[in-house]
Amino acid sequence: MAAGRHADRTVIVTGAASGIGRGIARRFGEEGATVVVADVRREPKQGERYDTDVTRPTDELVASETDGDATFVETDVGDPESVETMVEATVEAYGGVDVLVNNAGIQIEGDSQTTTLEEWERSIAVDLSGAFYCAKYAIPHLVESGGQIVNVGSVRGFEGGGGPPYAAAKGGVVNMTRDLAMELGDDGVRVNCINPGYIETPLQDINTDEDVEKSREQTLVPRFGTPEDVGDAAVFLASDEAGFVTGANLPVDGGWLAHSGL
Distance CA 115, CA 164 (A): 8
Distance CA 220, CA 51 (A): 24
Is 133 tagged catalytic? Answer: no
Distance CA 167, CA 2 (A): 39
Do 36 and 12 meet the contact criterion of CB atoms below 8 Å apart? yes
Distance CA 12, CA 104 (A): 11
Q: 3-state DSSP call for residue 23?
A: helix
Q: Which among 105, 136, 135 is positioned nearest to 201, based on CA atoms? A: 105
210 C-beta neighbours (distance < 10 Å), count: 8
Angle at 22 between CA 3 and CA 74, to 5 degrees: 105
State phi, psi for 82 to the nearest 5 degrees.
Answer: -65, -40
State phi, psi for 257 to the nearest 5 degrees.
Answer: -70, -30
Active site residue: 50, 133, 166, 198, which one? 166
Distance CA 188, CA 185 (A): 5
120 C-beta neighbours (distance < 10 Å), count: 18
Q: Which among 71, 84, 69 is positioned nearest to 36, based on CA atoms? A: 71
Provide the annotated active-site residues: 166
